[in-house]
Structure 1
């Protein structure tokens, strides 16, 4: 028997459409705002597209515009809820070869040596250690605040 916690991760977009991805915050015009699996930078989110494509360039101009706007709206919600110093936006697709955008809050309290560097250069434990991985016990309130703010922003925009 396959554990459901594993199966939703095997296809995050399909599981979001099915209502089985527990990290989904809200459905947006272009896709799904989801909380990041790790929260060593509180508020880290990902934008999954509605349709699975390899890259941003596989979307038509209207879809790209909606996707990039939705990405910035997630940044607005993180700014309001988490009060970071800034927001970093990243689209790679090298490891998970499908379009998805990372929205990282960056904070003044981060170690000085990490502040000028991309988040990917943080120690491996930040990405895998259970102390930093999302859990309802530690992150439920944050998840609900982000969800509420996103719903408010979406209502204002659309």
Structure 2
């Protein structure tokens, strides 16, 4: 079941990966190249609403996206969060973090403490094509 009022039911961006259960999108965030979301396609609010096999599939997808981010972006840390307070549709944020990013070591939703140099951000954005390919490759592998 989908909801027309839910921004994640009708994704505004083309997913880098999609199957019948979930989608992976790269968030257009200039300060955080590589910021990804794993979105459950059906309108579901909580992980506990999923069947056991679906919970495992979702967790596995988050892990695969994290591994692709580590492979391509080589961040200092990965943040994984499922909030859904503003959009009550099950999704996970998978965010590469760097010690020079605007909010490090605080969450990306905190106040900025610095500005990341533009050439650094441009170099990270240049990796997004490779990241998309790595996500697709990892999502299509039988076992990692």
After TM superposition, the score normalised by the length of structure 2 is 0.77
Instruction: Give the SS at the match of 1:157.
Output: coil
1:153: Cα distance to partner? 1.2
Does 2:130 align with 1:145? Answer: yes
CA distance in 2, matches of 1:151, 1:15: 21
1:31: Cα distance to partner? 0.5
- Tell me, yes or no, if the aligned pair for 2:99 and 2:105 is still in contact at 8 Å: no
Query: Runs (4+) of structure 1 moved beyond 2 Å?
Result: 9-16, 141-144, 154-158
Match of 2:73 among 74, 77, 82: 82
Does 2:59 align with 1:50? Answer: no
* Residue 66 to residue 28, structure 1, CA distance change in 2 (3 Å): same
Does 2:100 align with 1:109? Answer: yes
- List gaps (5 residues or longer) in structure 1: 1-8, 132-137
Q: Relative to total residues, which structure has the larger helix share, 1 or 2?
A: 1
- List gaps (5 residues or longer) in structure 2: 119-123
CA distance in 2, matches of 1:32, 1:92: 17
* Residue 22 to residue 98, structure 1, CA distance change in 2 (3 Å): closer
Does 2:111 align with 1:122? Answer: yes
> Which residue does 1:3 correspond to in 2?
none
> Which residue does 2:139 correspond to in 1?
154
> Which residue does 2:121 correspond to in 1?
none
Instruction: Give the SS at the match of 2:44.
Output: coil
> Which residue does 1:15 correspond to in 2?
10
